[in-house]
Structure 1
């Protein structure tokens, strides 16, 4: 989470941010001078992870080293209502500081696009669970991304945001961990919707697609014995697109392997 400021001027800024509507952000809150632009929703945003974003590595989506995975420092943790138990992992959001609500800590005329890679949990030591309470839309962004739109000393700023398609280089990647009868597959570098709706696996010695289940974040599991077999995956993302990655995992693979496919969603 972003550091807490105690100066009077910052407490004033935090008060303005906390006044933003949370239950239905398309409805004009009493403290808001005008509704958000069409297609945009209201939230607020803090930052974490340090100036180099090193503190953002890992996270509740399971991507691990975000630089190695290609996500870099344009990432965010999501509050409960946005994270959706991990179903939002990989989604992309365009975010701007909401100058109409409070211009004090905003950098004008800029937006930043970030990928959801982590979860911002409620802090029940604070009233109502704090900034990332269960019903409030909130982005806890990597510091370099947040500073594209906000002034550092603000700490917490009102923002407007919208879902946007993800742009990725190269194909979808699969990392297989686990052990015999428990195959845990991390799916990363997903373009378009970015998030996965369903996933299936087929071994080379079978004609049947077997459904996989979301285990946590962007990790999906199968309880079948697949060790060392050539594998295909069928992935459906949340905008409805489906791709089949035929024989994408070679025979003789071992746990810990990462496969970069040649296919990508558009």
Structure 2
């Protein structure tokens, strides 16, 4: 009897671990780490106009708006760090509040403050100012580079599901996708696509930022897309998310997100 129960338990456990879902766990770092921070763009602005991750005009609207962060190469990870979320908090209690700001990696901070393998955040003026006590944003910005602490935190896009933007120039022979509004890890380690009437998942190639592509064809929609996060290896499949009559520069929203 005990042996039979063990077999049943093993089968159930294997089934749960094999589910193509994202219910296992999320990225979260309880420890604070040292870094430095600056700000760019207008004093109370959103930061970059687009950025190296490829989010384009999304950085100017909610939920990205005013949460823009450019990071040094150690966190940018050649673009694989795009979409990750961090809490950043300054340390000078004479001018800084105790609250941390949450930022989304949308850009890379090359050279200058970000060189030499250091961990650095170049924040939007609005995000940088929010680290100050009320009314002291201008004084904090005047300090230029400051010491901060940071930690990884799950991304939360309330009432938003993962979306796939078909990049300009895409054709049935070269399909390029940008991932938007990914809860949880925020980053992507692998991406695959499945054509209509096919059981085969085709690997996509990381191009730059949050952009992935596949060169094959002709590719026939509708397409299902499967993404695997870089940090915790969670997997999610959006079935038939891109329709048969897809078009470049269009964005297609799935019905799910990482929980």
Q: Pick the TM interval, shorter chain.
A: 0.7 to 0.9
Once the two structures are TM-superposed, the CA of residue 228 in structure 1 deviates from its matched residue by 5.7
Question: Aligned partners of 2:105 and 2:215: how far apart in 1?
Answer: 27
Counterpart of 2:207? 215
1:115 aligns with 2:98: no
- Equivalent in 120, 126, 141 of residue 152 of structure 1: 141
Counterpart of 2:228? 236
1:44 aligns with 2:3: no
Q: Is the 8 Å Cα contact of residues 176 and 255 (structure 1) preserved in structure 2?
A: yes
Counterpart of 2:166? 176
What pairs with 1:191-230 in structure 2 (closer than 5 Å)? 191-225=183-217, 229-230=221-222
Q: Is the 8 Å Cα contact of residues 223 and 240 (structure 2) preserved in structure 1?
A: yes
Aligned partner of residue 141 in structure 1, secondary structure: strand
Counterpart of 1:4? none
Structure 1: gaps (5+ residues): 1-37, 123-129
What pairs with 1:245-264 in structure 2 (closer than 5 Å)? 245-264=238-257
Question: Aligned partners of 2:185 and 2:86: how far apart in 1?
Answer: 10
The alignment of Structure 1 onto Structure 2 pairs a total of residues equal to 218
- Equivalent in 44, 51, 56 of residue 64 of structure 1: 56
Once the two structures are TM-superposed, the CA of residue 154 in structure 1 deviates from its matched residue by 0.9
Counterpart of 1:96? 89
Aligned residues: CA RMSD? 1.6
- Equivalent in 109, 121, 126 of residue 139 of structure 1: 121
CA gap of 1:205–1:90, structure 2 versus 1, over 3 A, is same
- Normalised to the residue count of structure 1, the TM-score between the two structures is 0.78
- Equivalent in 68, 73, 78 of residue 80 of structure 1: 73
Question: Aligned partners of 1:59 and 1:94: how far apart in 2?
Answer: 20
Counterpart of 2:258? 265
Once the two structures are TM-superposed, the CA of residue 138 in structure 1 deviates from its matched residue by 0.3
Question: Aligned partners of 1:260 and 1:201: how far apart in 2?
Answer: 15
Once the two structures are TM-superposed, the CA of residue 206 in structure 1 deviates from its matched residue by 2.0
- Normalised to the residue count of structure 2, the TM-score between the two structures is 0.80
Counterpart of 1:189? 181
* 1:122-143 Cα shifts (integer Å, max 9, x gaps): 1xxxxxxx31104010000011
Counterpart of 2:18? none
